């Protein structure tokens, strides 16, 4: 089915992620290639409601593929979760003649898109832009690879100083509901324990394992904790460890938002470019209200309403690998 989109809007929403600019560039240039007019909507859904919309040209996206952040800026817009907010946004789009949308964001942004696409006749295409990698229907999300490599670089540096002092470091990485950054960066840096929201933290097990390592004179240890871990984050883990094992010198490092910034990795630029291109192709081909992801190296198109948060998918085998390799 061909559809007559002629003016499309692109926006970034929710937490920014490295590679969003590469996706914007791909959407703008693919749209222009097909003779469409492309509009950038500033600050996510907020800009839709406030009519903060700019015309994009090919040159508007020059020299951005290597930049972190998002040139369109982003926001978490509460008003868009209300029908009144979405109605205003629709009227704004209608005034501009915008008849198709590409939304780059996380699961919260897609929930907004689902409601919008059910209420109004403007087709929406979702692209996963989140460092958390917590979206079903895609093997990759834009920004995860860069974020996890930033975490790895930081933890490697922490290991140097941990090694120099024979210390234990508890490192907190991002991931509100998902432990992927912790899991990948922890395995890649040889962490002794990885604590994630998907598994109940057994602090006694962590302590027993540290005691056992101490008996073997393994004094340099790194525990990677996802910020959303149910036990209460790195500070709480360190506090309990210090209480039970006061002779072990323990330090806490919270990596925070450095994981969200920086130049996107090659992989993030590559997948963002592919996804951005296919988002526009989907709008033109009439493949509406879908989420464009990559599964087993192929593009996947999943109805937006079926795209949920990826939860609890971290297998126990991976945790077993952590234990064995950190012995
Ligand atoms: O969803 C991405 C993310 O970076 C999470 O890992 C983190 O919990 C959250 O955003 C932080 O959001 P904010 O920057 O709004 O504090």
Please tell me the distance from the alpha carbon of residue 274 to that of residue 213, in angstroms, as a whole number.
46
Please tell me the distance from the alpha carbon of residue 155 to that of residue 222, in angstroms, as a whole number.
8
**Domain spans of the chain?**
7-143+264-306, 145-260
Please tell me the distance from the alpha carbon of residue 220 to that of residue 79, in angstroms, as a whole number.
49
Rounded to whole angstroms, what are the CA distances from 23 to 4, 47, 70, 212, 263? Answer: 22, 18, 10, 48, 14
- Contact present, 270 and 251 (Cβ < 8 Å): no
The secondary structure of 179-246 as a DSSP string is -HHHHHHHHHTT-SEEE-TTS---HHHHHHHHHHHHHTT---EEEEEETT-TT-HHHHHHHHHHHH-T
| Catalytic-labelled residue, pool 16, 107, 132, 229 | 132
pLDDT at 290: 95
pLDDT at 212: 95
Work out which ligand 1 atom sits closest to the CA atom of 178: 6
pLDDT at 137: 87
pLDDT at 2: 47
Work out which ligand 1 atom sits closest to the CA atom of 260: 4
Residue 326 has pLDDT above 90, yes or no: no
Mean pLDDT of 117-129: 96
175 touches ligand 1 (CB under 6 Å): yes
Q: pLDDT class for 105, splitting at 50, 70, 90?
A: very high
Closest protein CA for atom 16 of ligand 1: 15
Mean pLDDT of the chain: 95
The predicted-structure confidence for 272-281, as pLDDT tens digits, reads as follows: 999 999 999 9
Please tell me the distance from the alpha carbon of residue 130 to that of residue 127, in angstroms, as a whole number.
9
- Contact present, 48 and 79 (Cβ < 8 Å): no
Residue 300 has pLDDT above 80, yes or no: yes
For 253, other C-beta atoms within 10 Å of its C-beta total 19
217 Ramachandran zone, left/alpha/beta (phi>0; psi -120 to 50): left
Fold classification of 7-143+264-306 (topology level): Rossmann fold (3.40.50)
Please tell me the distance from the alpha carbon of residue 109 to that of residue 103, in angstroms, as a whole number.
7
Q: Packing angle between helix 144-165 and helix 180-188, nearest 10 degrees?
A: 50
65 touches ligand 1 (CB under 6 Å): no
pLDDT at 140: 96
Supply the DSSP symbol for 14.
Answer: S
176 CA from centroid of ligand 1 (Å): 7
Please tell me the distance from the alpha carbon of residue 261 to that of residue 252, in angstroms, as a whole number.
21
Tell me whether residue 132 is one of the annotated catalytic residues: yes
pLDDT at 314: 83
189 touches ligand 1 (CB under 6 Å): no
148 CA from centroid of ligand 1 (Å): 14
Please tell me the distance from the alpha carbon of residue 189 to that of residue 327, in angstroms, as a whole number.
13
130 touches ligand 1 (CB under 6 Å): yes
Residue 181 has pLDDT above 70, yes or no: yes
pLDDT at 3: 57
Please tell me the distance from the alpha carbon of residue 211 to that of residue 260, in angstroms, as a whole number.
35
- Contact present, 305 and 137 (Cβ < 8 Å): no
25 CA from centroid of ligand 1 (Å): 24
- Of 14, 15, 184, 228, the one to substitute when testing ligand 1's pocket (max ligand atoms within 8 A of C-beta) is 15
Residue 326: alpha-carbon gap to chain centroid: 27
7-143+264-306 and 145-260 in the same fold: yes
Work out which ligand 1 atom sits closest to the CA atom of 131: 2
β-bridge mates for residue 7, sequence order: 37
82 CA from centroid of ligand 1 (Å): 22
Please tell me the distance from the alpha carbon of residue 165 to that of residue 220, in angstroms, as a whole number.
8
- The domain defined by 145-260 carries CATH number 3.40.50.460: yes
17 touches ligand 1 (CB under 6 Å): no
Q: Give me the percent of the chain exceeding a pLDDT of 70.
A: 98
- Residues in the chain, total: 327
Q: pLDDT class for 249, splitting at 50, 70, 90?
A: very high
**How much is the pTM?**
0.96
Please tell me the distance from the alpha carbon of residue 148 to that of residue 174, in angstroms, as a whole number.
9
126 Ramachandran zone, left/alpha/beta (phi>0; psi -120 to 50): beta
Residue 256 has pLDDT above 80, yes or no: yes
């Amino acid at each position: 089915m061909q559809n007559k989109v002629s003016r499309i809007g692109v926006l970034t929403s929710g937490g920014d992620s490295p590679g969003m600019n590469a996706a914007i560039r791909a959407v703008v240039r693919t749209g222009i290639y097909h003779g469409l007019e492309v509009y950038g909507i500033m600050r996510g859904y907020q800009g839709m409601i406030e009519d903060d919309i700019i015309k994009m040209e090919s040159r508007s996206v020059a020299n951005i593929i290597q930049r972190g952040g998002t040139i369109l800026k982003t926001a978490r817009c509460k008003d868009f979760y209300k029908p009144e907010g979405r109605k205003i946004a629709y009227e704004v789009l209608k005034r501009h003649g915008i008849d198709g949308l590409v939304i780059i964001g996380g699961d919260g942004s897609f929930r907004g898109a689902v409601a919008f696409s059910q209420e109004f006749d403007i087709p929406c295409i979702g692209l996963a832009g989140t460092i958390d990698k917590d979206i079903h229907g895609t093997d990759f999300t834009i920004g995860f690879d860069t974020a996890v490599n930033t975490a790895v670089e930081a933890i490697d540096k922490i290991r140097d100083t941990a090694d120099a002092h024979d210390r234990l470091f508890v490192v907190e990485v991002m991931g509100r509901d998902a432990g992927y950054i912790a899991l990948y960066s922890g395995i890649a840096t040889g962490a002794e324990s990885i604590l994630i929201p998907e598994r109940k933290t057994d602090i006694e097990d962590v302590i027993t394992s540290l005691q056992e390592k101490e008996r073997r004179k393994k004094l340099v240890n790194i525990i990677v904790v996802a910020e959303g871990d149910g036990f209460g984050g790195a500070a709480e883990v360190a506090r309990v460890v210090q209480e039970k094992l006061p002779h072990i010198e323990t330090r806490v490092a919270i990596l925070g938002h450095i994981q969200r910034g920086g130049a996107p990795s090659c992989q993030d630029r590559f997948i963002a470019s592919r996804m951005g291109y296919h988002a526009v192709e989907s709008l033109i081909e009439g493949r509406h209200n879908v989420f464009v992801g990559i599964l087993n190296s192929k593009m996947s198109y999943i109805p937006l309403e079926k795209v949920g948060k990826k939860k609890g998918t971290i297998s126990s085998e991976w945790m077993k690998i952590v234990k064995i390799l950190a012995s």
